[in-house]
Amino acid sequence: MKYDVLVIGSGPGGYVTAIRASQLGFKTAVVEKENLGGICLNWGCIPTKALLKSAQVYDYLKHVDEYGLKAEAIDKDFEAVIKRSRGVAEGMSKGVQFLMKKNKIDIIDGFGKVKPGKKVDVTGTDGKVTEYSADHIIIATGARSRELPNLPQDGKKVIGYREAMSLPTQPKSMIVVGSGAIGVEFAHFYNSMGTEVTIVEFMPNIVPVEDKDVSKQMERSFKKAGIKVMTSSSVESVDTSGDGVKATVKTKKGEQILEADIVLSAVGIKTNIENIGLEDVGIITDRDKILVNDWYQTNIPGYYAIGDVTPGPALAHVASAEGITCVEKIAGVHTEVIDYGNIPGCTYATPEIASVGLTEEKAKEAGYELKVGKFPFSASGKAKAAGTPDGFVKVIFDAKYGEWLGCHMIGAGVTDMIAEAVVARKLETTGHEVLKAIHPHPTMSEAVMEAVADAYDEVIHL
């Protein structure tokens, strides 16, 4: 019952950490209370993308005539769409099980709780408690849907993301509270399926962390698709006593009552840090997060934390990168501190959003003199041919030294295009180098080259 590395939680933080630890020669175990793969594979990244794929196929079918095709009796089977998504999630979780076996990692089923002396108690489903010890204990217990006091989730009429991706029947109408990535992905999915969707966002723009131009384009696209968008608005209370839900929404113009079948609360996450022994060990937390240094060490030697439980962006690729960095440091192999300024963020609605680095507003606030370029997909041959001309690529450079400060994309397939900007920025590439890197024609990626060209007053197709 003694390990070199023991990881609590098997999300994209935990299971990736365990694999890297095993590759580095550590005797490794991972403790999991639910399903292998964590939120990402079971209730987050992957099942939502399966739902969004169904929405995309359905949207294509609804518009086949625009492609010179004909299709009749187009319909959807909501239950089957949900079933497909759950099946994809299940398959991914089994994949992690395979990876654990392949890498000779022990899977310990149950609820893990850290104890002083580098020990962990695991309570199995039968209630039996087993003690394990390890030289290095890595906490990767992730997070869950955050509940607002005035919007308590009952799992039926006021729901979180888990219920939203497994509803037995499709609601006719839905209020989505919060327009971060999770909120807008569900808003798009349900709208495509035929649910009447209203987004209520507290901030003045939807997808508020994005560049303002992106937010504005998203709002235009969503409104065109039939989604109602209420910004600078907040849900004050909900009344679930009747058939559906009545939400009292405070807007700039006063209070409004919205009625719907269901409310989806998508206002962020709450970390799983309760009852896992942090206080017994003396591990310091701040504002719901476990505090760590650059190498994910907590204040108590031998205890580490990575992923959603720590400060920083709550994203799967961040959790994985943190775990890898953490165990590489433990192993003493060469590794690098993560550059949190170069983390891509993606939203997979239609249109998709992808961004990295500073927004124009933030770059200005930081005092840079800017060169900004923009290329709309309406001027891209590939986008026109594909029938997806909405959106653009926007690039932001430091005028003095040519540093690529930020890249913001909205449009079809941009989540697969942002990696170019991430790699270029990692290599400290200047705008001119990107411009001279020949991009294939016709592709959506040409828009990156053209946006950079626009910043340098050399754009060809505008």
Ligand X SMILES: Cc1cc2nc3c(=O)[nH]c(=O)nc-3n(C[C@H](O)[C@H](O)[C@H](O)COP(=O)(O)OP(=O)(O)OC[C@H]3O[C@@H](n4cnc5c(N)ncnc54)[C@H](O)[C@@H]3O)c2cc1C
- Provide the minimum distance between the beta carbon of 27 and ligand X in the complex, in angstroms, as a whole number: 19
Reference 319, options 28, 12, 79; nearest CA is: 12
Cα 421 versus chain centre, distance:
18
Sequence-distant (6+) residues with CB within 8 A of 419 are 344
- Which three-class secondary structure state does DSSP give residue 24? coil
How many residues touch ligand X under the rule CB under 6 A: the total is: 34
Choose, by CB under 6 A, the member of 19, 21, 31, 51 that binds ligand X.
31
Choose, by CB under 6 A, the member of 96, 138, 143, 263 that binds ligand X.
143
The contact mask relative to ligand X for 268-287 (x = CB under 6 A, - = no) is ----x---x-----------
Sequence-distant (6+) residues with CB within 8 A of 427 are none
With beta carbons less than 8 A apart as the criterion, state whether 45 and 21 touch. Answer: no
121 scored as a contact of ligand X (CB under 6 A): no
CA distances from 111 to 217, 307, 373 (A): 44, 18, 51
Comparing CB distances to ligand X, the nearer of 5 and 316 is 316
What type of residue is 428?
E
Q: What are phi and psi of 421, to 5 degrees?
A: -70, -35
The contact mask relative to ligand X for 294-333 (x = CB under 6 A, - = no) is -------------xx-----xxxx-x--------------
The helix (H) or strand (E) run that includes residue 425 is helix 418-426
182 is in an annotated binding site: yes
Choose, by CB under 6 A, the member of 18, 142, 215, 258 that binds ligand X.
142
259 is in an annotated binding site: no
Comparing CB distances to ligand X, the nearer of 33 and 394 is 33
Q: Please identify, among the stretches 2-10, 230-238, 285-293, 443-451, the one whose residues bind ligand X according to the rule CB under 6 A.
A: 2-10
- Provide the Cα torsion 343, 264, 160, 221; round to 10°: -20
Reference 270, options 141, 388, 454, 175; nearest CA is: 141
201 is in an annotated binding site: yes
Comparing CB distances to ligand X, the nearer of 47 and 373 is 47
With beta carbons less than 8 A apart as the criterion, state whether 348 and 50 touch. Answer: no
- Provide the minimum distance between the beta carbon of 307 and ligand X in the complex, in angstroms, as a whole number: 2
Comparing CB distances to ligand X, the nearer of 291 and 379 is 291
Catalytic residue numbers read 441
Choose, by CB under 6 A, the member of 3, 28, 112, 138 that binds ligand X.
112
Comparing CB distances to ligand X, the nearer of 230 and 314 is 314
Comparing CB distances to ligand X, the nearer of 34 and 403 is 34
- Provide the minimum distance between the beta carbon of 354 and ligand X in the complex, in angstroms, as a whole number: 11
- Site residues for ligand X, 151-210, by CB under 6 A, read 161, 182
With beta carbons less than 8 A apart as the criterion, state whether 160 and 243 touch. Answer: no
Say if residue 351 is preceded by a cis peptide, omega within 30 of 0: yes
Say if residue 442 is preceded by a cis peptide, omega within 30 of 0: yes
How far apart are the C-alpha atoms of 189 and 197, rounded to whole Å?
Answer: 10
Choose, by CB under 6 A, the member of 3, 6, 11, 424 that binds ligand X.
11
Comparing CB distances to ligand X, the nearer of 414 and 455 is 414
13 is in an annotated binding site: no
120 is in an annotated binding site: no
Choose, by CB under 6 A, the member of 141, 179, 205, 217 that binds ligand X.
141
Sequence-distant (6+) residues with CB within 8 A of 162 are 43, 145
With beta carbons less than 8 A apart as the criterion, state whether 414 and 219 touch. Answer: no
211 is in an annotated binding site: no
- The region, left, alpha or beta by phi > 0 then psi within -120 to 50, assigned to residue 431 is alpha
The contact mask relative to ligand X for 36-75 (x = CB under 6 A, - = no) is --xxx---xx--x---------------------------
Q: Which residues are annotated as a binding site?
A: 49, 112, 178-185, 201, 268, 308
Q: Which residues are annotated as a binding site for FAD?
A: 49, 112, 308
**Residues interacting with ligand X, by CB under 6 A?**
8-14, 31-34, 38-40, 44-45, 48, 111-112, 140-143, 161, 182, 272, 276, 307-308, 314-317, 319
